[in-house]
Chain A
Amino acid sequence: MSTVSPPVRPEVAGPAGPRLLPTAAVFTAAVGALLALAALHLTQGTSAVDGGDLLRLLTGSADPAVWNVLEGARLPRLTGAVLTGIALGASGVLLQSVARNPLASPDTLAVNAGAHLAVTAVAAFGLTLPLLSGIGVAFTGALLTAGLVLALSAGGGESATTRLILAGSATAMAANSMVTLLVLLFQEETTGLFAWGSGNLNLAGFGTIAQAAPLVLIAVAVAVIAAPRLDLLRLGDDTASSLGVHVRRVRLIAVVCSLLLAACAVTVAGPIGFVGLAAPVIARQIAVRVPVLLAHRVLIPFSALCGALVIVAADLAVRAVLGAEKSIEVPVGVATTLLGAIVMVWLARSVASGAAEDRPAILHGAAGRSRLGFTLIWIGLAAAAVAALIGGMLAGDTMLLGGDLVNWVAGKTGDSYTWIIDQRYPRVLAAILAGAALACAGAVTQGILRNPLAEPGLLGVTAGAGVGAVALITWVPAAGAWTVTGVAAVGGLGAFALVYALAWRGGLDTSRLVLIGIGVWSFGMAAITLVILASDPWNIPKAMTWLSGTTYGRTADRLIPLAAALVVVLPLIIAHRKEIDLLALDDDTPRVLGVRLERTRLLLLGAAAVLTAAAVAVVGVIGFVGLVAPHLARALVGSRHTRVLPVSILIGVLLVSLSDTLGRTVIAPAQIPAGLVCALIGTPYFIWLLWRTRTRT
């Protein structure tokens, strides 16, 4: 087990008498707190009804309109918050118990994202659904993504936690990209879904609540009935089996309950982020101090209660800070994600990987490729990159032919073609440069962290750079390319420094680093959403750039800082290619060979962060490139960085350039942002990659 786990307490079925008291005390306190928060929650709203009116309602002297306000808006909102909280809190604790992993949750296992994708797809294609099938659709989506994630992360052995969370986060990223694509393509049909992507409680009735509530109660009840067997599962599968527990059946029951709960929550309010992670963690932290709560039949309801507390408190806080009207545009899910991401980082800090994980995660299937083979591949890829450049110049809304480009270079094109090519080449170059920078950064990061699934995006660097850039552009709209790049670099390096510092506990544990990175990444993306929703909620191009990445509207002068970063940083990285090879082995080999481990590691990771930030400043937050390109490179030419670096840079160029060209062409004159196409191309490869590495134990 590579993570913190609560103390194992096999003797759950002890004498009931003396244990009832602390349980009752904790539950009373929690319910009391929930009631107090709920009472405060009821005093907030967009009408003039205040606490005094509510008190008068109790004494029977209030205007009947006060009751209408309660029944028509405030109670649905409160009930929705409590119900989704219960559902997510219970869903999270079940997933954590089944995975034996406190980082498992509907968010990190892509359950929420899958449910949301299914709901969005149904809305986008204009299908109307009969009663209850909304939950059915969400459940199907949740089942598919969770099944995928669990299947992909099976067999990870000692590195189970990291694999699980990486598989989940990447799947969630892909599902969210598809949601964004659907919103973009079917804007009319999905109006408002953009904000809903963060979870929204502006409920005007009890309709879906009434459908979801019985299911939530049934699922929680079934889980509580199965609870004693879940307790036994803590002892390990073999012990549990020998005690007569049907392990697979218990697991299946717990997972199905958990997915149903998450689907109900998503149907009521959209994907409210990270409650399913934070609530069970809070519950367990309290339970460690009051151990009787650790028995699942108590822990499940208690975690559900904590979930309700988290959502009600978050909604209360958002509306207290922003005011009731503004918070209609800034959904509560953004606040819970910010909070939950912090909890995740805190949790990940105590992760220590087993010794087995310290072996090089990257082996070399193609290590034996001959020099000739490498040269041929290199030449082929270089030719393909040039072809992508030319293809990118030719394809687009207006299709050109090679001779037009020749004319353009010679200055002989007619006016309109000169204009078309003049405005097209910065976009083509932006894609190429960004692809090179992101792929190079990914290759360095993966090598140094010895984790084939680590990349600047998942480490929070991309999101940090995005937060810096979007904040600057929002508050200083006139900022120039250099300033944006500079601030993005500060944001990216800041996020990276934060991740590194938090992960540093007398040494750098790569699992810890990656998990903390994912937490910071989630926090950063929520912060970007918050900035955009609070400042400019209807500005779709801005949202597209900073939430998915695009080359739209880029001019040549904005590319200069990125080109400069490549010119300065690339030689530095290439000069250290042998050290990357050593660092990719383990911590001891480079030390023995006289490499100053921490200094080199920091220098190279810093270089990767600068490249990432420079790319983000130009094309926004494009994911998957740094993940996919280095892999493909290693599959082609083995793992020596002398070979991996140039090949993965070329693959990165190809990937982003192709994505950009496709995005500009397939639905022209409308366009799909390059980042979305990248995610859609990258996802199948990534899933295949996880599948291939699944049996490695």
Chain B
Amino acid sequence: MRIPHLKRSAVPAALAAAALLAASACGTTEEGAGDDATTAESGPVSVTDFLDRTVELDAPAAKVVTLEWAETEIAASLGVMPVGAADLEGYNTWVGAAEPMDDTVVDVGTRQEPSVDAIAGLSPDLVIMEPDDEAIIKQIEEFAPVLVVEGSNAADNLARMKRDVDMIAELTGTTAEAEALWTEFEGKIEATTTAIEAAGTGDVPYLYADGWVEGDAISIRPFGPGSLVGSLGTAVGLENAWTGETDAAWGLGGTDVEGMAQYTDTDLKFIYNNSYNDNIFNEKLVGNPIWDGLKFVKDGSMYELPHSVWTFGGPRSSGAVLDYFAEVYAS
């Protein structure tokens, strides 16, 4: 192998220069530690979180950082605008309709790998996350208490959502707001149930799905009865048509267009998410003989969920889903 003829003095000289340059990066960007006088507005608060950790705060948290959209939404719904939240741009696109963010909220990175740097820089009183961020609990706990909420549980998603809301409310001193929020949500369930009963269409089951496409390959993701959407449907007395296998946390199934063949003669209302604008259900599948042969396709019984309604969100997002159920069943 031939080796390039580097100028002998060039390499050491360059390295030395680089070293000098680095050494000069002195000075500080902050003042030293000052007095840390936090006055407790009310007494200490404590909850046992989803991972059975006891989270205790001397006072309810005012500066909250949320690492998943659902918790961002819940905190805001309780009147606690987060100081930092993961993937703000995505939040505004997918969730924002139900609970918009203030301009003051700082983006702390992606939901998959939030920046611990950015979180620490905000000196939060509390960081709220779901269990998939478990790997960084230890790091964050070095500087701020961490509350882990469940996020989703296909066994009973509404009770799970109440537990999550209550935990966040307890630690942010907003239990009264949580009660009001939940009453509002239950009111929504009642109103939707009434609206569907009034329309007299409640016997028709619904199927809710999203999907993704690569070239001609199309995968469909049906939301089972255990998903948040599924739980909302059940709460207002509707029947979910998806009976296939789903995962234990999110209640989501997986299938392809052939998996839809079971609904060939079924009377149902098909609600789909087209937030990615990939037009799977309204364009890409048109022309496929299985799809074209489905009763709900032939009947035109297809409904596109409004954009920016988050199907894995908190009570306000769930309220928007319920509103859409009412609209679909009134039509």
- Quick check: is A193 within 8 A (CB to CB) of the other chain? yes
Residues in A whose Cβ lies below 8 Å from that of B285: 204
- Quick check: is B217 within 8 A (CB to CB) of the other chain? yes
Closest residue of chain A to B261 (Cβ to Cβ) is A47
Within 8 A of B (CB), among A620-634: 634
Q: Output the least CB separation between B218 and chain A (Å).
A: 4
A76, A267, A544 pick with most chain B CB within 10 angstroms: A76
Closest residue of chain A to B260 (Cβ to Cβ) is A47
- Quick check: is B40 within 8 A (CB to CB) of the other chain? no
Residue pair A193, B1 in contact (C-beta under 8 Å): no
Binds B, one of A9-17, A400-408, A578-586: A400-408
Residue pair A384, B19 in contact (C-beta under 8 Å): yes
Residues in B whose Cβ lies below 8 Å from that of A361: 1
Residue pair A202, B290 in contact (C-beta under 8 Å): no
> CB < 8 Å: which of B19, B23, B284 contacts A380?
B19
Residue pair A387, B18 in contact (C-beta under 8 Å): yes
Residues in A whose Cβ lies below 8 Å from that of B2: 363, 365, 692-693, 696
Residue pair A670, B36 in contact (C-beta under 8 Å): no
- Quick check: is B206 within 8 A (CB to CB) of the other chain? no
Residue pair B25, A401 in contact (C-beta under 8 Å): yes
Closest residue of chain A to B291 (Cβ to Cβ) is A72
Closest residue of chain A to B290 (Cβ to Cβ) is A72
Residue pair A668, B109 in contact (C-beta under 8 Å): yes
> CB < 8 Å: which of B108, B120, B244 contacts A420?
B120
- Quick check: is B115 within 8 A (CB to CB) of the other chain? yes
* CB-defined A-B contacts under 8 Å, sample of 29: A46-B258, A47-B258, A65-B261, A68-B289, A71-B289, A73-B256, A191-B212, A204-B285, A205-B287, A361-B1, A364-B3, A365-B3, A365-B4, A377-B11, A377-B12, A380-B19, A387-B18, A391-B25, A394-B25, A397-B117, A398-B117, A398-B118, A401-B26, A406-B28, A407-B28, A418-B143, A419-B142, A419-B143, A423-B117
Closest residue of chain A to B114 (Cβ to Cβ) is A669
Residues in B whose Cβ lies below 8 Å from that of A394: 25
Residues in B whose Cβ lies below 8 Å from that of A267: 215
Residue pair A397, B109 in contact (C-beta under 8 Å): yes
Q: Measured between alpha carbons, how far is A76 from B290 in the docked complex, in Å? A: 12
Per-residue 0/1 for B77-102: is the Cβ within 8 Å of any A Cβ (1 yes, 0 no)?
00000000000001000000000000
Q: Output the least CB separation between B60 and chain A (Å).
A: 19
Known: A365-B2, A403-B27, A404-B29. A208 touches B215 (CB 8 A): yes
Residues in B whose Cβ lies below 8 Å from that of A669: 107-110, 114-115, 117-118
Binds B, one of A28-36, A246-254, A409-417, A491-499: A409-417
Closest residue of chain B to A401 (Cβ to Cβ) is B27
Range for the number of chain B residues in contact with chain A: 35 or more
Q: Measured between alpha carbons, how far is A422 from B132 in the docked complex, in Å? A: 22
Residues in A whose Cβ lies below 8 Å from that of B21: 387
Residue pair A363, B215 in contact (C-beta under 8 Å): no
Known: A201-B217, A325-B244. A73 touches B6 (CB 8 A): no
Known: A72-B288, A373-B12, A423-B116. A415 touches B33 (CB 8 A): yes
Residues in B whose Cβ lies below 8 Å from that of A541: 112-113, 132, 135
> CB < 8 Å: which of A377, A420, A452 contacts B121?
A420
Residue pair B4, A192 in contact (C-beta under 8 Å): no
Q: Measured between alpha carbons, how far is A552 from B136 in the docked complex, in Å? A: 9
Residue pair A45, B254 in contact (C-beta under 8 Å): no
- Quick check: is A540 within 8 A (CB to CB) of the other chain? yes
Q: Which 4 A-B pairs have the closest CB atoms?
A: A365-B3, A380-B15, A419-B143, A383-B19
Residues in A whose Cβ lies below 8 Å from that of B244: 325
Q: Output the least CB separation between B107 and chain A (Å).
A: 6
Residue pair A552, B11 in contact (C-beta under 8 Å): no
Q: Output the least CB separation between B43 and chain A (Å).
A: 23
Residues in A whose Cβ lies below 8 Å from that of B143: 415-416, 418-419, 422-423
Residue pair A414, B142 in contact (C-beta under 8 Å): no
Residue pair B1, A416 in contact (C-beta under 8 Å): no
- Quick check: is A381 within 8 A (CB to CB) of the other chain? yes
Q: Output the least CB separation between B79 and chain A (Å).
A: 25
Closest residue of chain A to B115 (Cβ to Cβ) is A669
Known: A386-B19, A420-B117. A401 touches B4 (CB 8 A): no
Per-residue 0/1 for B246-267: is the Cβ within 8 Å of any A Cβ (1 yes, 0 no)?
0000000111111101101000
Q: Measured between alpha carbons, how far is A337 from B115 in the docked complex, in Å? A: 35
10 new A-B contacts, CB < 8 A, other than A202-B218, A634-B3, are: A65-B264, A72-B288, A73-B288, A193-B214, A325-B253, A363-B2, A397-B109, A402-B27, A416-B121, A670-B110
Per-residue 0/1 for A450-465: is the Cβ within 8 Å of any B Cβ (1 yes, 0 no)?
0010000000000000
- Quick check: is A270 within 8 A (CB to CB) of the other chain? yes
Within 8 A of B (CB), among A59-112: 64-65, 67-69, 71-74, 76, 80
Residue pair A328, B258 in contact (C-beta under 8 Å): no
Size of interface on A: residues with Cβ below 8 Å to B: 104
- Quick check: is B245 within 8 A (CB to CB) of the other chain? yes
Residue pair A397, B28 in contact (C-beta under 8 Å): no
Q: Measured between alpha carbons, how far is A514 from B183 in the docked complex, in Å? A: 67
Known: A45-B258, A635-B4. A196 touches B245 (CB 8 A): no
Within 8 A of A (CB), among B1-45: 1-6, 8, 11-16, 18-19, 21-23, 25-34, 36
Q: Measured between alpha carbons, how far is A65 from B260 in the docked complex, in Å? A: 11
Q: Output the least CB separation between A666 and chain B (Å).
A: 13
Residues in B whose Cβ lies below 8 Å from that of A124: none
> CB < 8 Å: which of B110, B123, B136, B284 contacts A415?
B123
Q: Measured between alpha carbons, how far is A422 from B213 in the docked complex, in Å? A: 43
Residue pair A188, B276 in contact (C-beta under 8 Å): yes
Residues of A near any B CB (own CB < 8 A): 45-49, 64-65, 67-69, 71-74, 76, 80, 134, 188, 191-193, 196, 200-209, 267-270, 325-326, 328-329, 361-366, 369, 373, 376-377, 379-381, 383-384, 386-387, 390-391, 394, 396-404, 406-407, 412-420, 422-424, 426, 452, 539-541, 544, 550, 552-553, 555, 634-636, 664, 668-671, 692-693, 696
Residue pair A268, B264 in contact (C-beta under 8 Å): no
- Quick check: is B219 within 8 A (CB to CB) of the other chain? yes
Within 8 A of A (CB), among B27-80: 27-34, 36
A76, A383, A396 pick with most chain B CB within 10 angstroms: A383
Residue pair B118, A404 in contact (C-beta under 8 Å): no
Q: Measured between alpha carbons, how far is A191 from B212 in the docked complex, in Å? A: 7
- Quick check: is B234 within 8 A (CB to CB) of the other chain? no
B8, B30, B136, B285 pick with most chain A CB within 10 angstroms: B30
Q: Measured between alpha carbons, how far is A262 from B305 in the docked complex, in Å? A: 40
Q: Output the least CB separation between A575 and chain B (Å).
A: 27
- Quick check: is B201 within 8 A (CB to CB) of the other chain? no
Known: A270-B214, A422-B143, A671-B115. A403 touches B4 (CB 8 A): no
Known: A68-B261, A693-B2. A412 touches B12 (CB 8 A): no
Residues in A whose Cβ lies below 8 Å from that of B16: 376, 379-380, 383
Residue pair A202, B217 in contact (C-beta under 8 Å): yes
Closest residue of chain A to B94 (Cβ to Cβ) is A188
Residues in B whose Cβ lies below 8 Å from that of A208: 215-216
Residue pair B30, A413 in contact (C-beta under 8 Å): yes
Residues in A whose Cβ lies below 8 Å from that of B117: 396-398, 420, 423-424, 664, 668-669
Closest residue of chain A to B106 (Cβ to Cβ) is A669
Residue pair A46, B259 in contact (C-beta under 8 Å): yes
> CB < 8 Å: which of A65, A192, A414 contacts B31?
A414
Q: Output the least CB separation between A108 and chain B (Å).
A: 22
B5, B15, B36, B212 pick with most chain A CB within 10 angstroms: B15
Residues in B whose Cβ lies below 8 Å from that of A403: 26-29
Known: A47-B262, A328-B219. A423 touches B29 (CB 8 A): no
Known: A204-B256, A268-B215, A376-B12. A423 touches B139 (CB 8 A): yes
Q: Measured between alpha carbons, how far is A268 from B2 in the docked complex, in Å? A: 43
Residue pair A73, B121 in contact (C-beta under 8 Å): no
Closest residue of chain B to A422 (Cβ to Cβ) is B142
- Quick check: is B293 within 8 A (CB to CB) of the other chain? yes
Known: A363-B2, A414-B32, A636-B6. A384 touches B15 (CB 8 A): yes
- Quick check: is B298 within 8 A (CB to CB) of the other chain? no
